[in-house]
Amino acid sequence: MPAAELTLDVEVCSECGLCVAVCGYDALVLRPTILEIIHSECVLCDACVVACPTEALRIE
């Protein structure tokens, strides 16, 4: 079974930055045109998923 990871639906992401604000692990970076996930820093805590108002983030 493959390991779980944080995924982003770029079609749904509004780039609001709420996920970046709640991430305590510096695993998310809001770039000028996209949200970048730093998978090596992500501990799959789910805080960003809960904070996302458009449900663009998922742990799969």
Render pLDDT for 9-36 as a digit per residue (tens, 0 to 9). Answer: 999 999 999 999 999 999 999 999 899 9
pLDDT above 70 for 42: yes
Cβ atoms of 42 and 27 closer than 8 Å: yes
The full set of domains in the chain, from first to last, is: 6-59 (3.30.70.20)
- 26 to 1, 3, 5, 53: CA distances (angstroms): 27, 20, 15, 19
